Structure 1
Amino acid sequence: MMIHHSARFAVLLCAAATLAACASPDGVREPDAASRMRVAATAEAGGQTDVALSMYGAAAARDPNNGEAQARFAAALMRAGNRTQAEQVLAAAVERRPNDRRLILELAKMRLRSGQAGEALGLFDRVLAGDSRNVAALDGRGVALDLMGRHPEAQDSYRRAQAVSPDSVSVANNLGLSLLLDGRADEARAVLEPLARRSDANQRVTANYAISLAATGDEAAARNVLGSEDVDLRGVAEVLRVNRQVIEVTPAGGRS
């Protein structure tokens, strides 16, 4: 009888998880959370996302006080498109571990993605109360403030993040975008122009730089940056003003 490749892979992974936990003289015991997470990471790397999600979920259920397990399960749920359950997992984890900054930070980012800027701001401030130099929290705090229309406060938060991590593309890009949203196009251009020349600049940086060029009266240069003569720059600027979800949040490591 032939076994489908993905099914065979799942069987091998489960066997690996069992072997990782079978050192007990009483016989094979249930795999621990760490073993399940290792197997889940292997499954995910092999493209077996359903297996990975199942294993992350099993690890989180086995050890509800393991912050790493809860964070990984929530991240896997997000990648699978289940944002609601991911938020529920993190919220419950934060309730159990109210001083776990990583969990609070991840929940804050999810609140931002759900449009709950006020709640996110409170969570970022909780992280900063214990770690005032946390770049991800400073950057996320700026995003929340921008989404609430409090641009000068947002810019102060980004600059505090830059003082800790001056090379972060994400933080500098968010500062430039905040200045654009605040109607300070000349200052935004001064921030975004050197950023756009960097080899690690992404498309969001390029787009924001082009908008800053158009906003300062250099539409020809803006179209050249975007590589198109057909772009409605005024329309792009309006979309930027209305839909601020293009703002990035720095990863927990503090660098983009």
Structure 2
Amino acid sequence: MTTTNEIIKADKELQDGAPKAALELLRHQLSLHPNSPETLTELGKVNAALGRNEAATIYFQQALKIKPHSLEANKGLAKLKLQKNPKEALEILLKLAKSYPRDAQTLVDLGVSYDLVGQYTNAQEAYHQAMYIDPMLISAQSNLGLSYAFSGHYDEALALLAPLASTTDTSTPKIRNNFALAQYLAGYRLEAKKTLLQDMSGDEANIVLKSFSQLSPHLFSSK
């Protein structure tokens, strides 16, 4: 079944930051086509955006029962598993990367899963592969910088993340947070706080810095 106009509209609503509007469109679509893997996958994406992870997981799983090799459903399920079970996510993404070797975002997600299980060299290789496919993919560059920081290569991390965090067309709160984490791990605590203060209050920055301090003791245990 081809993707319908309603699903395209719903995905645009989601990309525009209106997941609830997307959900309303998809509810109607689901009533018409309850076994459409495209509709079920989009419902998974929308529920994930709303933080309804259990519902999102069910929708992705339902889509995969109908279309087991769906790129989008597998990616959606893997991203959810990254939060709770990185090893399971890694298994999904390794299979997906073999089936879709030219999908750059799958390789980025694979890199994230490697980072989360402490396999930093494999993570960095995955990010580099993604960048060969799409040199302008900012998520690959940002996550590569963070992986360098996790593995103790601070100079490489800061050199990669500093321009991303300071250039108008690439700088986002997430990238600035990654840069602050790299600064913190490299020992530049005051600079890390200054970076965080671009997006939050002093009290909020102190909370984030505390979370950084809780991360650092175990980051290098599997180098």
Residue 57 of structure 2 is aligned to residue 57 of structure 1 = no
- Aligned-pair CA distance for 1:149: 1.5
1:185-236 superposed Cα distances (whole Å, 9 cap, x missing partner): 2221122122222212112322332343344454454444344888659735
- Aligned-pair CA distance for 1:237: 3.1
1:58-83 superposed Cα distances (whole Å, 9 cap, x missing partner): 42353344332112222232344321
CA distance in 2, matches of 1:223, 1:85: 37
Tell me which moved more, 55-64 or 137-146.
55-64
- Aligned-pair CA distance for 1:38: 6.9
RCO higher in 1 or 2 (8 Å CA, sep ≥ 6)?
Answer: 1
Q: Structure 1: give runs of 5+ residues left out of the alignment.
A: 1-32, 245-256
Question: What amino acid is aligned across from residue 196 of structure 1 in structure 2?
Answer: A
CA distance in 2, matches of 1:215, 1:39: 42
Question: What amino acid is aligned across from residue 96 of structure 2 in structure 1?
Answer: V
Q: Structure 2: give runs of 5+ residues left out of the alignment.
A: none
TM-score (norm 2): 0.76
The verdict on how the C-alpha distance between 1:187 and 1:40 changes in structure 2, with shifts beyond 3 A counting, is closer
Q: Does the CA-based 8 Å contact 1:177-1:208 persist in structure 2?
A: yes
Residue 179 of structure 2 is aligned to residue 209 of structure 1 = yes
- The alignment covers a number of residue pairs equal to 209
CA distance in 1, matches of 2:12, 2:190: 49
Q: Does the CA-based 8 Å contact 1:186-1:212 persist in structure 2?
A: no
* Identity over aligned pairs, percent: 25
The verdict on how the C-alpha distance between 1:69 and 1:152 changes in structure 2, with shifts beyond 3 A counting, is same
Question: What amino acid is aligned across from residue 112 of structure 1 in structure 2?
Answer: L
CA distance in 2, matches of 1:104, 1:217: 38
Q: Does the CA-based 8 Å contact 1:169-1:201 persist in structure 2?
A: no
TM-score (norm 1): 0.67
1:91-112 superposed Cα distances (whole Å, 9 cap, x missing partner): 1211211122222122211222
Which of structure 1's runs of 4+ aligned residues deviate more than 4 A? 35-45, 217-220, 227-234
Q: Does the CA-based 8 Å contact 2:47-2:53 persist in structure 1?
A: yes
Residue 129 of structure 2 is aligned to residue 157 of structure 1 = no
The verdict on how the C-alpha distance between 1:97 and 1:168 changes in structure 2, with shifts beyond 3 A counting, is same
The verdict on how the C-alpha distance between 1:165 and 1:240 changes in structure 2, with shifts beyond 3 A counting, is farther
CA distance in 1, matches of 2:110, 2:8: 32
The verdict on how the C-alpha distance between 1:61 and 1:90 changes in structure 2, with shifts beyond 3 A counting, is farther
Equivalent in the alignment of 2:80:
110
Q: Which has the higher helix share?
A: 2
Query: What is the alpha-carbon root mean square deviation over aligned residues?
Result: 3.4
Q: Does the CA-based 8 Å contact 2:37-2:62 persist in structure 1?
A: no
Q: Does the CA-based 8 Å contact 1:138-1:158 persist in structure 2?
A: yes
The verdict on how the C-alpha distance between 1:172 and 1:62 changes in structure 2, with shifts beyond 3 A counting, is same
- Aligned-pair CA distance for 1:141: 0.5
Equivalent in the alignment of 1:78:
48
Residue 161 of structure 2 is aligned to residue 166 of structure 1 = no
